Amino acid sequence: MQISNSTVFIAGATSGIGLALAQRLASAGGQVIIGGRRADALKGIEAENTGIDTVEIDVTDAASVTLARDVVLNRHPDLSTVVTMSGVMHPEDLRDPAHFAVAEQTVATNLLGTIRVLDAFTPHLVTRGSGTLVTVSSGIAFVPFPLTPTYGATKAAIHSYSESLRKQLAGTGVEVAELVPPLTATTLMGSHDNPAAMPVGDFVDEALQLLTTDPTPHEIVVERAKTQRNAVEDGTYNQLLDMMSQALAALGR
């Protein structure tokens, strides 16, 4: 993937990995458009960052996604890359049926939101004959974190969906790359305070090194994510799952 002089839209990038990625791409000479739900946050980002445009988007709302697409393509008809970064992560107690509201929101945002954004922009890139779609799964897609079961399920689904999308777009000139973050110091589940979390800047640095290799890798897996990504092949899956299940103590087991 070429990042200098490229035009990139990142849905869900007002903080965390998305914002750091946007800032790094802009500093490399790219034109970046950040999508998010909060107008005040978007205005602040645009005012403080050269090379970053913004657009309001709610990935759970089909009309909002369509409007955002039209705005982005009207302003930036040379759009070459789309990153589907929007996501939420919440704990769930599966013994309590009340968890369903969290599950529904998580699927609507993480999975259906990803598909909506991909559907909105894929025709443009196919018509263009080139470009890159970047989906975002997680190390948790490969070894679940049982405290957040629906989050893990959506990320596993995004991995599978990315594989299928790549095959369906073969021959169109449009690449599909899957970003696989490890535990990263973001606002998700308070991980910014977790000493084991990878600093966001370090993750973006390593991820961009991989993303800009030629040809673009199908999966962008930094070193810290490889333990989970390769757990089945390495024979460590059950051990890792047991370790990650220790967080269930938060539910009062």
* Regions of the chain where pLDDT drops below 50: none
Res 161: pLDDT? 98
Q: What predicted TM-score, i.e. pTM, was given to this entire model?
A: 0.94
- pLDDT value at residue 1: 74
pLDDT computed for residue 87 by the predictor: 94
Q: What is the pLDDT of residue 23?
A: 94
Residue 34 is predicted with a pLDDT of 96
- Encode 99-126: b = buried (16+ Cβ within 10 Å), e = exposed: beebbeebbbbbbbbbbbbbebbbebbe
Domain ranges of the chain: 7-251
Cis peptide before 77 (omega within 30 of 0): no
pLDDT confidence of residue 194 = 72
Contact at 8 Å (CB) between 3 and 30?
Answer: yes
CATH architecture of residue range(s) 7-251: 3-Layer(aba) Sandwich (3.40)
